[in-house]
Amino acid sequence: MMQLEHYHSTPIARLRFEANFEQKYKYYIGQDGGGDDPQASGAYIFRPKDVVPIKTDGQVPPMILRGPILDEVHQQINPWIYQITRVYKGKDYMETEFIVGPIPIDDENGKELSTEIITSMATNKTFYTDSSGRDFIKRVRDYRSEWKIQVNQPVAGNYYPINLGIYVEDGSKELSILVDRSVGGSSIKDGQIEIMLHRRLLNDDGRGVAEALEEKVCLDDQCEGLVIQGKYYLKIDPQGDGARWRRTFGQELYSPLLLAFAEKDGGNWANSHVSSFSAMDPTYSLPENVALLTLEELEDGSVLLRLAHLYEAGEHKDLSAPASVDLKRVFPDKKIGKIIETSLSANQERAAMEKKRLKWKVAGPPPKENVVRGGPVDPSKLVVELAPMEIRTFVINFDHRLAAHPI
């Protein structure tokens, strides 16, 4: 049993939130395609036949390391699962690093390994998963809003792809998990979150690849099952406050700082190189709810700029508001001669694309248009407006004759 604490400051008091939770591992035995169910579990299909909890009794005792930057707990869960749990000083989230594999198949059963976080939260069958790292979609176990579902696969039928994260809430707090890669996940029971970490299967699922999901690493003539290493991050927040961490820290996971090192004499290098640089006005920064997705110089000297609003409407009491980006302060030493808004893929102008948009023939009255979008960019003000969840792409041409500093 573990406990994660979160301190939330308000104008009146500093509140303490905590959640007791238990972390476990289990694996699903993949359906082999025989017997009453001809559909095998494989590369494209998750079809569990049974579930086996992984016991840690009798394993190596955990090793606890404490330091000035972080505390760590090292655990050998079993011969093929190792994990390190980290809590950084000054941070209120938990990081778990896992090393899994090779998954044993001596019993001739394919296995699909999941880890689960179990709490006492009353989540009413409801959880939320991201869609392509953007919107968080409400999921209700064994339910579809568009049709009456007949539940034949209570586990696989409630699994969803996760690219950014998954969370549950109970009216007073939220429990969020962010991932460092695309995984599958669900909340199979109230108060529980599980994510799938690794799969090794022995049968083809008949969906096109004509082979089992049996990945191996070979050295000379020795081949073993694949070993994978990854991380996920867990945090609790007061109800309504988890979005800020999911969006802000999610951007850090998606676009981490890239550190580079060189063997040089520091003094000599600093004398011949610029040691710091900011293309943006040093007194200006992008709004907290905006991400710079793309800043790229094209072959003709123009610049491709792509900006994204990180929040959905109603997701956060403050940060779901429309945002504005002042391009004059983003490029203070350049004179923008022309700015063209394009499609997201930047292969056609947005105005031309809108004229060619397909008009679908649908039954019934046309749907109400409730989408809010930022307005056109005034070429004199050069301010980009972004509505919640909006992504906008521009091609910018600089007037080199009028630039304060040439490119």
What is the mean pLDDT of the segment spanning 288-293?
96
DSSP structure class, residue 277:
-
pLDDT confidence of residue 350 = 92
pLDDT confidence of residue 3 = 58
CA distance 191 to 260: 42
What is the mean pLDDT of the segment spanning 194-211?
96
CA distance 102 to 150: 36
pLDDT confidence of residue 401 = 59
Residue 405, C-beta contacts closer than 8 angstroms, at least 6 positions apart? 333, 334
Q: Please give the distance of CA 37 from its chain centroid, rounded to a whole number.
A: 34
Q: How far is CA 104 from CA 27, 81, 213, 377, in A?
A: 11, 11, 14, 58
**Does 333 have pLDDT greater than 90?**
no
Weakest mean pLDDT among 115-119, 257-261, 269-273: 269-273
Q: Which helix (H) or strand (E) holds 254?
A: helix 242-254
pLDDT confidence of residue 12 = 42
pLDDT confidence of residue 399 = 85
What is the dotted CATH code of the domain comprising 2-254?
Answer: 2.70.98.30
CA distance 353 to 341: 11
What is the mean pLDDT of the segment spanning 319-331?
96
**How many percent of the chain have pLDDT more than 70?**
93
Look up residue 188 and give its two tokens: 């199979």
Query: Minimal CA–CA distance to 353: which of 366, 368, 342, 338?
Result: 342
CA distance 259 to 268: 20
The 3-state DSSP class for residue 354 equals helix
What is the mean pLDDT of the segment spanning 187-195?
97
pLDDT confidence of residue 402 = 52
Per-domain residue ranges for the chain? 2-254, 279-356+371-398
pLDDT confidence of residue 7 = 47
pLDDT confidence of residue 294 = 94
Band (pLDDT 50/70/90 cuts) for residue 229 is very high
What is the mean pLDDT of the segment spanning 100-111?
96
Q: Which fold has domain 279-356+371-398?
A: Immunoglobulin-like (2.60.40)
Q: Which helix (H) or strand (E) holds 186?
A: strand 183-186
Average pLDDT, the chain: 90
**Tokens 């491709």 belong to residue:** 304
Q: Please give the distance of CA 389 from its chain centroid, rounded to a whole number.
A: 15
**How many percent of the chain have pLDDT more than 90?**
74
